[in-house]
Structure 1
Amino acid sequence: MSDTHAHAGHPALIARLKRADGHLRSVIVMLEAGKPCLEVAQQLLAVEKAVANAKRVLIHDHMDHCLDVEGSETDRAELKAIARYL
């Protein structure tokens, strides 16, 4: 039995996270090269925002596609659980 849980929006989310990964890797290179802290901080902010946006997209996608509109007890509990990550 497979335990996969994929949505139609996951490929776009993966692409978004790969871009964030590339930005994070560039931050490491910048630090290793001794780039100015202001430039590094700006890049880190971009990474932080990219990851936060990816998390928001994932959670909204989950709410749209995985939770029943009627709202069973299980769905309400799951909504409360995932809302902790907002």
Structure 2
Amino acid sequence: MSHAQNPDILLRLRRASGHLTSVIAMVEDGRDCLDLAQQMQAVIKAIESTKRILIHHHIDEHLGAAASALPAAEARALVEEIKEVSKYL
């Protein structure tokens, strides 16, 4: 399945977009810095989470297919190891 067809990725991006729209409205309304910083953090976390899901999906699709020549347990372990190290991106 393509990342474009992954409903979780699209849902999370739409949520981040909603948070960002809120931040823009808050800036225009002259809202307090603390409120703005909290909403900006929500946008950052939503995008980081979506990026992680996107990368894990890519790993599953491409590395999983490439590792299929290995025994199943070994292939799963390899995919999980790559996912674990990807959190440091």
Do these two structures clear the TM 0.5 threshold for a shared fold by scoring above it?
yes
Do structure 1's residue 19 and structure 2's residue 19 form an aligned pair?
Answer: no
Structure 2 unaligned spans of 5+: 71-81
Kept in 2, the 8 Å contact 1:24–1:44? The answer is yes
RMSD across aligned positions (CA)? 2.4
Structure 1 unaligned spans of 5+: 72-78
Do structure 1's residue 36 and structure 2's residue 7 form an aligned pair?
Answer: no
Instruction: Provide TM-score, normalisation by structure 2.
Output: 0.69
Kept in 1, the 8 Å contact 2:13–2:47? The answer is yes
Q: Which runs of 4+ in 1 moved over 4 A?
A: none
Inter-partner Cα distance in structure 1 for 2:49 and 2:59: 15
Instruction: Provide TM-score, normalisation by structure 1.
Output: 0.71
Kept in 2, the 8 Å contact 1:31–1:40? The answer is yes
Compare the two structures and name the one with the higher helix fraction. Answer: 2
1:6-53 Cα shifts (integer Å, max 9, x gaps): 148611110110000000000000000000000000000010000000
